Amino acid sequence: MVRSMWHRSLWSMVAVCAALLVVSLHEHATAPPASASGVSTPRTAASTPECRSADLSADYRARDAAAGHRYGVVRLRNTGRRTCFVQGYGGLSYVGGGDGTPVGAPADRDPGATPRVVLAPGERALSRVSETVAENYPRRTCRPADVDAFLVYPSDATRPFFVEHPTTGCLDESVHLLSHRPFHG
């Protein structure tokens, strides 16, 4: 008797979940596409200008760490008054010395799709960043140096952003501590 009540309860929960799923799928299938940031449609791609450095601000958000690595995202925010797009990787490196002196090799580019990300004012595009901890390398190989910030270039831009990020880098450019992915919505 207890077993049959348990089975009835289980089947009742499955039926309720299935009904909710069907309703949810029906709602989303009939809803118009969202206009929030993301991959552009052909109509918006042709008429939307590329974001300039003056249209953007940049920051970094740490997300996770494990086994000698740190992970986070560089975020570009449209601070302008018009919709614009970013596409591709941009540039990323460490700087230090209190004066923007490059520290080590620039970031490697992890393979990935490079969608055109349309940003309305206030919206953000993200680039995932992976950092290898400098202490993973022998001091003689790494030649550790203090890092003040990331130097972040938006895609196709010539004016970078200095994004505060105190850490330790390697002066030896054969040691690659940074990698990043293309910007996405």
DSSP state of 97: T
Q: What is the pLDDT of residues 23-36, one digit of tens each?
A: 343 333 333 333 44
**88-106 as b/e, with b when 16 or more CB fall inside 10 Å?**
bbbbbbbbbeeeeeebbbb
Q: Left (φ > 0), alpha (ψ -120 to 50) or beta: where does 134 sit?
A: alpha
Q: What is the pLDDT of residues 120-133, one digit of tens each?
A: 999 999 999 999 99
CB 83 within 8 A of CB 48: yes
What is the CATH number that goes with domain 46-180?
2.60.40
Judge if pTM exceeds 0.85: no
What residue type is 19 in one-letter code? A
